[in-house]
Amino acid sequence: MKYFLVLFSVICLATLAQAQEKTFSVIGKVVDSSSRLPLSGASVFAQNTTQGTTSNSEGKFFIRLPNGGYDLVISYTGYDKKIFRISHTQVLTDTMIIELIQQDRAMTEVAVVASNEVADGWEKFGKFFSDNFIGTTPNAAKTLIQNPEALRFFYTKNNKRHRLTVKSKEDLVILNHSLGYKIRYQLDSFNYDYNSNISQYTGYPLFEEIDTTQEVKSTWVKNRARTYLGSRMHFMHSFFDSVLTEEGFVVEKLDDKNLRNIEGAVIANVYDSTYYFKDSSMADINWKGRYRISYKSVLPDKKFIEEFKLPANARAQVTLLDIADGFVIEENGYFYEQYDVINTGYWAWKKLAELLPYDYEFE
């Protein structure tokens, strides 16, 4: 019996050590940049994950994350937020000191007075904003913003500019009843250019699992898996793990000079050392120009085919990538610089309602 207890203890310790090796910790302290006094209750979270916390009475916080890369977001009411890129490859032996700067209220009030804000913005632009922010996918039909009154709409139309800008006075609370997430979204801004028909938005989501019955959770597991397959996250995971072809992805290089030329050359070896370098923690992708990503293991959604008026027999999810100067992938699917990788097509159609957190695990 003693031998069994000793062996059991050794196994438990080994399992615990193995689990800890797959995570890393971030310890920090949030203070006012001028007074150096601690800020209690500051929000601290790894954006696009389920991992978040708040600072204690001494301004200190602790957060443990699965190995990979993240944007750590620190915010406090009345202060400018700060974002840090963090990774398990960084050795953080000391407590991070995060100094937040108070916002200039006078400048904010001047900006509000001089703005072109629409008084009944949600009534006029609410559906348009939802379609371009939440999306028009089947998942989007079951996703809603709980506090639309937090949104502020700014509309500009003149000879030089025709644009809609949307900001938020507080975090948006979004319920995705299709995937089972409550999302607290810090929206910086949403912009839609009517001249180019291009929408862009920046913000920082924090996910929370919705509690419900086991039967509903089983449905969410299936919905999440269906959403994951063929997604940008799936592509980044597969690229990092060197299994793009096995997972059903096909990569083509397009003509960078002639944008009308839709013919592409299939890249037979996407892991050629000229374009791909990987160590144990990250993969460096040296791509530049235009690429087409096709995923053929799952058919494109019928709604996508209808909206884009594609042939009913379309057999692949197709996305076009415009890449400025390569990117780096970490093992959890996080990649940077994200603004240097512009996608159109299927991935662009799948907006917030299709978003999965970086700590999601495909089942």
- Assess whether pLDDT exceeds 80 at residue 178: yes
pLDDT of residue 21: 66
Please give the share of the chain, as a percent, with pLDDT higher than 90: 81
For residue range 219-256, list pLDDT tens digits in order. Answer: 999 999 999 999 999 999 999 999 999 999 999 999 98
Q: How confident is the model at residue 350 (pLDDT cuts 50, 70, 90)?
A: very high
If one compares 340 and 91, the residue with the highest pLDDT of the two is 340
In this structure, which topology does domain 20-104 adopt according to CATH?
Answer: Immunoglobulin-like (2.60.40)
Mean pLDDT, the chain, as a whole number?
A: 90
pLDDT at 2 over 60: no
Q: In whole angstroms, what is the distance from residue 152 CA to residue 129 CA?
A: 11
The fraction of the chain above a pLDDT of 70, given in percent, is 90
Per residue in 61-112, pLDDT tens? 999 999 999 999 999 999 999 999 999 988 666 789 999 999 986 555 445 4
pLDDT tens readout for residues 249-261: 999 999 988 878 8
Query: What does the pLDDT read at residue 106?
Result: 54
pLDDT in tens, 109-142: 445 444 689 999 999 999 999 999 999 999 999 9
Instruction: Place 262 in a pLDDT band, splitting at 50, 70 and 90.
Output: confident
* pLDDT, average across residues 18-29: 79
Mean pLDDT, residues 161-176 taken together: 95
Cα–Cα distances in angstroms (integers) from residue 105 to residues 1, 112, 203, 251, 329, in the given order:
69, 11, 21, 49, 39
Q: What's the pLDDT score for residue 27?
A: 95
CB 157 within 8 A of CB 128: no
Q: Which residues lie below 8 Å from residue 116, measured CB to CB, with a gap of 6+?
A: 154, 155, 156
| pTM exceeding 0.85 | yes
Q: Is pLDDT of 1 > 60?
A: no
Residue 58, pLDDT > 60, answer: yes
Stronger pLDDT, 1 or 292, i.e. the higher one: 292
Number of H helices, E strands in the chain: 7, 23
Confidence label for 198 from pLDDT (cuts 50, 70 and 90): confident
Residue 108: per-residue pLDDT: 52
Residue 23 has pLDDT above 70, yes or no: yes
Long-range contacts of residues 76-83, Cβ cutoff 8 Å, at least 24 apart: 76/30, 76/39, 76/41, 76/42, 76/43, 76/100, 78/102, 78/103, 79/32, 79/39, 79/103, 81/186, 83/47, 83/204
Nearest to 356 by CA among 347, 315, 118: 347
| pLDDT of 160 | 82
As a whole number, mean pLDDT of residues 203-217 equals 96
175 CB burial (10 A radius; 0-12, 13-18, 19+): middle
In the predicted structure, residue 348 carries a pLDDT above the cut 50: yes
Q: How high is the pLDDT of residue 89?
A: 86
